[in-house]
């Protein structure tokens, strides 16, 4: 699997975005930008989820749900989905594209804005990350890795 993390803005309905990306032969996980602390946070979640499936240690039925579980650093799938789900009416998303080279966002009226991926002080506060010697993104990656321990 090849992963790409992008930020995007626009008024396309959720289902239309999912259909757009899956029609290209790939997959997508759409997330609330407020719950994303940098590109490596999401790439780490994707890598862990992929490995969980290859090793048979996955908790969910699909790799997409497993990615959300890791990205949310939650043990329960329902909590992870609630935490990572894009908020109604915000029209801002972080998308993990799987096996999609060119997202062709203009086809669905979306514009790319990778600043939505960045770890900020406000996001860190919402996610329970602390300002200090370890960057917010590195703390998020550590939390993704801790999901392995929570699964046991």
pLDDT digits (tens, 9 = 90+) for 30-39: 999 999 999 9
Q: Strand order in 3-10's β-sheet?
A: 27-31, 92-98, 3-10, 110-112
pTM of the full predicted structure? 0.94
pLDDT tens string 44-89: 999 999 999 999 999 999 999 999 999 999 989 999 999 999 998 8
- Which residue, among 128, 95, 129, has the nearest Cα to 110 in the 3D structure? 95
Tokens, residue 101? 């080279």
> What is the number of structural domains in the chain?
1
Residue carrying structure tokens 């959300």: 68
**Quick check: helix, strand or coil at residue 65?**
helix
CATH of the domain at 15: 3.30.2380.10
Structural domain harbouring 63: 3-150
- Alpha-carbon distance 84 to 94, whole Å? 10
């Amino acid at each position: 699997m090849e992963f790409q993390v992008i930020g995007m803005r626009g008024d396309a309905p959720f289902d239309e975005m999912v259909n757009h990306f899956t029609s290209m032969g790939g997959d997508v996980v759409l997330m609330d930008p407020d719950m994303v602390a940098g590109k490596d946070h999401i790439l780490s979640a994707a890598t862990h989820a992929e490995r969980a499936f290859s090793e048979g240690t996955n908790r969910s039925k699909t790799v997409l749900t497993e990615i959300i579980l890791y990205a949310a650093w939650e043990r329960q799938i329902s909590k992870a989905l609630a935490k990572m789900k894009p908020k109604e009416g915000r029209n801002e998303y972080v998308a993990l594209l799987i096996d999609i080279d060119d997202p062709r966002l203009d086809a669905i009226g979306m514009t790319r804005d990778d600043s939505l991926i960045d770890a900020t002080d406000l996001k860190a506060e919402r996610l329970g990350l602390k300002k200090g010697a370890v960057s917010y993104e590195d703390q998020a990656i550590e939390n993704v890795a801790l999901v392995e321990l929570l699964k046991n």
